[in-house]
Chains A and B, each alone.
Chain A
């Protein structure tokens, strides 16, 4: 029984963290139409940033600034935001497909830098020696995980509320207009460049928050955590849940994470032993199939975008 509960806590923590990242992608793609193919890098910037700033001092690489946790997490988010700003200034003028390719390439570069710049990131071994906040008070057991889950849920909810207010505001309206027709938006006096950059950076900061929480949870991050697989997972979550719908993004994150863990478990349990070393690859293929299948069958996702209608001031008939 306790086994099941602690597994559920673990599952919900991971799903919620990924849901935060999916919400960030929804702001970029769902609302603004910006194809970010490098989600893993912004997630990674948040993860590495948090551990570098908040970790204990290390001999073989940078970091160990031992900043208070909240400052470290904010620093991780800022790192993701700065990365997004640089990438955005360079690529947001490009056509949609080029933006996708260049962000994807940037994420590969990011992963390789983390893998090789040992002085910075600990290289392939990753960053260890991070002291999780409040560990003295809560210990390492179930109590800690439950408390951590509570914090993650609060942050998920806060992110959700923030984005809900945002997309229903004139700012959100502007994002959608730019997504729908940039030429028409410009003819109505709107400057897309600055707005797209703002949405790109904000979405990436949210991904950085997810990354920071992820790294905190494991007290560890390595290049394995920022592979393109993560980008595909987050995309699958958004496509399945429903691009343009924040509730859909959260729902999709839980659903795909459940399917991902279940498929991993099933493969390890029932697949022939020789096939088991390919579990990761098989899951990779499965996630691709889910994305393609969804785009063919129900491109708007399970919870499609809802039209913002006139709310209080009903249309006079």
Chain B
């Protein structure tokens, strides 16, 4: 297992009097596929949001590659190699699937107002390269035949694939996935998991929130469990299966949820 690449220290986030994330210290090692589990409302998504800067942490810190990134905005973190997808997909609905993906590369010459006019040649060349890469990524994610469809009209599962395709355009080091398989039909979920595995083999680090225990047990190591905003377990799949606290906290809440 590699060096720590992403870490939180005593990270806390309150919503008024309610503490959604409570002094969470976790470490994600480079090249790992770290699983994050916990019952509904445990604070998993809030933890993601606090890490990527969508929500300002109330206290505590976040480190990426050893440097303090606490409180930086999401747009700053994407360019530092930290990407995330959303629990409920957020496609750019009235844009084509291809445009969704082509948006993501950073520092596009044509993104400035007069870019398309002043540096026309450079902008065109870059646009062609981006289009090619976008098609490759769509191909990899099995979305190529949907390239010209409006992103709001594809299935929920395809939107999850699209979100992963989009962030891949930025070539991030660490990708946070919020329930990638939830609500996705089994075939598509299979594809998605396969792609995540392949990306992981190629060196991408993943931190994955999932309720699908089968997926978590089979693919993730280590596994971290949150309950009521606190880390209640950290260890391997085998340890998880025999951990009384985890069974109690996680499966207990699942039963009535």
Contact = CB atoms under 8 A, between A and B. Distances in A.
Interface stretch (B22-30, B76-84, B200-208, B228-236): B76-84
Interface string B215-241: 000000000000000000000000000
Given A309-B98, A309-B148, A315-B147, A187 B116 contact: no
Nearest to B152: A180
A177 B52 CA distance: 20
A315 B74 contact: no
Interface stretch (B6-14, B36-44, B103-111, B179-187): B103-111
A3 interface: no
Interface stretch (A45-53, A165-173, A275-283): A165-173
Contact of B78 (A180, A181, A187, A309): A187
Contacts of A317: 144-145
A313 B74 contact: no
A185 B116 CA distance: 20
Nearest to A165: B116
B82 to A, nearest CB: 10
A173 B103 contact: yes
Contacts of B147: 309-310, 315
B86 A184 contact: yes
B156 interface: no
A316 interface: yes
Contacts of B84: 187
Greatest chain B CB density within 10 A among A170, A305, A309, A310 is at A170
Contact of A169 (B52, B116, B148): B116
A165 B99 CA distance: 16
A189 B106 contact: yes
B99 A308 contact: yes
A181 B115 contact: no
Contact of A173 (B54, B79, B93, B95): B95
A307 B100 CA distance: 12
Interface residues of B, number: 51
Contact of B148 (A165, A177, A310): A310
B92 to A, nearest CB: 4
A202 B98 contact: no
A171 B84 CA distance: 23
A137 interface: no
B145 A188 contact: no
Interface in B147-198: 147-148, 150, 166-167, 170
A173 B102 contact: yes
A202 B117 CA distance: 15
Given A188-B83, A313-B131, A317-B144, 12 more contacts: A171-B110, A173-B103, A180-B93, A180-B95, A183-B74, A183-B90, A184-B92, A185-B92, A187-B75, A188-B78, A315-B146, A316-B135
Interface of B: 52, 54, 73-76, 78-79, 83-84, 86, 90-96, 98-100, 102-104, 106, 108-113, 115-117, 123, 127-128, 130-132, 135, 139, 144-148, 150, 166-167, 170
20 contacts: A165-B116, A169-B116, A170-B103, A171-B110, A171-B116, A174-B111, A176-B95, A181-B90, A181-B93, A187-B75, A188-B83, A189-B78, A189-B79, A189-B104, A189-B106, A191-B73, A307-B150, A308-B96, A309-B147, A310-B98
